[in-house]
Amino acid sequence: MQKLLFLLLLVIVQSAIAQPADSGYYQSFDRTRIYYESVGSGTPVVLVHGFIVNSQSWKKTALYTDLVSKGYKVIIMDLRGNGRSDKPQDSTAYDNDAEAKDIMGLLSKLQVAHYYAVGYSRGSIITARLLVLDKRVKAAVMGGMGTDFTNPEWPRRIMFYHALRGDDIPEMKPVIENITRQGLDRMALAWMQRSQPSTSQALLKKVKQPVLVICGEQDSDNGSAEALSKLFRHSVFKTVPGDHGGAYHGAAFSGAVTGFLAGSDK
């Protein structure tokens, strides 16, 4: 009987994942079209994807399934330059917090009054901007990110930009080959790196919302996540098994995030 009930729940969750309650395009402040999907009707959770992936990458994680099954309203979108969203070729189209403004505008369209923001990797960089710019954020999760992004002249960001522009940077060759193999818009990705926002440590120290900083035990790609957690007034720091690319897929990551959100609901 228990097995039958479990299978029935699994079918319901998979059906919800396969058929978003709301999906389509939102026209942002500069007429850029942003593709989004929304499932459920509970407390909204916005999942912000990282670099060289798109919103559909969240569907391969335990977190996405668990959030849906726990009754949250799960919102995903392709950030501009990615997936099914428009990919402006004008370098200035990614300036001045354009990606954060896309998210904020979409949530206004969806009439969201308050929400949780969950970012991973570069998505955490955008989540930091939401914490600073949008009072509707109740709490946030920053996954796979350390303090390095707080430096506006972050060498790794600059290296990515030049490699995507076509400069010969040997250590970036596997990344460029991966981008080429996937058929991604290399110029749009370059502009993303050129305009990628940084948030100063001074601003992060002013954030009042609870923040979970979480990373894989073998993840040191973007500086110290523990040091990042210490910048926030109200923060929790956790590590889970895995490296930068794999940590956010598993049950441990999902358990830490859903537990944090449940605690923030009280």
pLDDT digits (tens, 9 = 90+) for 83-110: 999 999 998 999 999 999 999 999 999 9
pLDDT digits (tens, 9 = 90+) for 23-70: 999 999 999 999 999 999 899 999 999 999 999 999 999 999 999 999
pLDDT of residue 266: 67
**CATH of 2-151+195-264 among 3.30.230.10, 1.20.970.10, 1.10.730.10, 3.40.50.1820:** 3.40.50.1820
> At 265, is the pLDDT very low, low, confident or very high (cuts 50, 70, 90)?
confident
Integer Cα distance of 117 and 134 in angstroms? 11
- pLDDT over threshold 50, residue 18: no
C-alpha torsion 32→33→34→35, nearest 10: -160
Q: Report yes or no: 58 and 119 within 8 Å, Cβ to Cβ.
A: no
pTM of full prediction above 0.75: yes
pLDDT of residue 22: 86
Single-letter code of the amino acid located at 138: K
Domain ranges of the chain: 2-151+195-264
Integer Cα distance of 175 and 172 in angstroms? 5
